[in-house]
Amino acid sequence: MTKGRIVKALSGFYYVQSEDGKIYACKGRGLFRNKQISPLVGDFVRFDKTNNEEGYIKEIAERKNELVRPPIVNVSKALIVSSITEPKFSAQLLDRFLVIVESKGIKPMIALTKKDLASEAELDLVAQYKAQYERIGYELVYFSLTETEVNERLLDFLKDDVTVIMGQSGVGKSTILNKINPQFNIETGEISQSLGRGRHTTRHVELHQVNGGLVADTPGFSSIDFDHIEADSLGNYFIDIKKQASYCKFRSCQHVKEPKCAVKAALASGDINEERYNHYLLFLQEILSRKPRY
């Protein structure tokens, strides 16, 4: 059997890239239907070649993580795109995306777009946020179409593994995708999705080679609700809160009104940013007030 990874699913075929880079159009052969598992883009598989171009998938390796919209598995990285203006930078939205990627074990990088359209005041504000998130431990880069070269740190980030690009509608996700790989040729309007429970794209998902890594040509996380997150684990997905939480007196501390809470102490001393903490409280409320699932 040959090892490979599914890079595209279309019309009943799974396009598997073998380790030597060749792509085989494979069928799944009933095998997985019994196990109620269907192959997805990003899956590591073993397949039998039937000839130089085709084969049958025999095994699917265990998945590291799974996204639902779009359906991609084993995603290692996410490029979170936030515009400085049009639409204005939103730290709350950025924290939403960060919580979701952290909850899936995905490493983020943040791209700040539309620098050339922003006012001095907007640039100053975003520079402060950039420094703040860098202190927490995140990597942020400015991205502007008017600059001729794609930012090297951004390309370096895409170098290995699978990356999805995510962000609010209109921030320039498709512009970045087209810039890093003109072959994507994505029309700017085509992939714009309304935030939250918007319409879901029915386009197929495909992973493209970019600088040695694979990038999904469909923006990730078209919905950013916290349905899969429990109140007790939310703190783990704020990396600055997580760092302090081990010093809280109670292991089940939710960092709201509990005594001897190390997170509240860090907030008082300025080690945890107040706005970040307020977003934590807001998301915690959202999770606590959601309808129970049966």
Between 165 and 284, whose beta carbon lies closer to Zn ion?
284
CB of 237 to Zn ion, least distance (A): 15
Between 203 and 249, whose beta carbon lies closer to Zn ion?
249
CB of 260 to Zn ion, least distance (A): 8
By CB under 5 A, is residue 253 in contact with Zn ion? yes
Residue that is written with structure tokens 């078209």 in the block? 222
Between 22 and 260, whose beta carbon lies closer to Zn ion?
260
CB of 103 to Zn ion, least distance (A): 19
Which residues of 217-286 form beta strands (DSSP E)? none
| 123, 84 Cβ separation under 8 angstroms | yes
Cα separation, 46 vs 178, whole angstroms: 32
Residue that is written with structure tokens 């951004």 in the block? 154
CB of 250 to Zn ion, least distance (A): 7
Residue span binding Zn ion (CB under 5 A) among the ranges 147-155, 167-175, 192-200, 245-253 = 245-253
By CB under 5 A, is residue 263 in contact with Zn ion? yes
Of the candidates 179, 255, 276, 279, which one interacts with Zn ion according to CB under 5 A?
Answer: 255
CB of 235 to Zn ion, least distance (A): 8
Burial label, 202 (beta-carbon count in 10 A; 0-12, 13-18, 19+): exposed
Which residues, in sequence order, are CB contacts of 164 under 8 Å at separation 6+? 67, 70, 72, 75, 77, 78, 79, 106, 215, 216, 218, 219, 220, 221
Closest CA to 87 of 148, 19, 167: 167
By CB under 5 A, is residue 261 in contact with Zn ion? yes
Residue that is written with structure tokens 């001729």 in the block? 148
Q: What is the CB-side half-sphere exposure of residue 60 using CA atoms within 13 A?
A: 23
Between 210 and 248, whose beta carbon lies closer to Zn ion?
248
Cα separation, 28 vs 83, whole angstroms: 41
Residues binding Zn ion: number (CB under 5 A): 5
Between 96 and 255, whose beta carbon lies closer to Zn ion?
255
CB of 245 to Zn ion, least distance (A): 6
Residue span binding Zn ion (CB under 5 A) among the ranges 19-27, 107-115, 133-141, 248-256 = 248-256
| 101, 188 Cβ separation under 8 angstroms | no
Contacts to Zn ion from residues 32-91, by CB under 5 A: none
Between 34 and 252, whose beta carbon lies closer to Zn ion?
252
Between 77 and 264, whose beta carbon lies closer to Zn ion?
264
By CB under 5 A, is residue 248 in contact with Zn ion? yes
Is residue 49 helix, strand or coil? strand
Contacting residues toward Zn ion, per CB under 5 A: 248, 253, 255, 261, 263
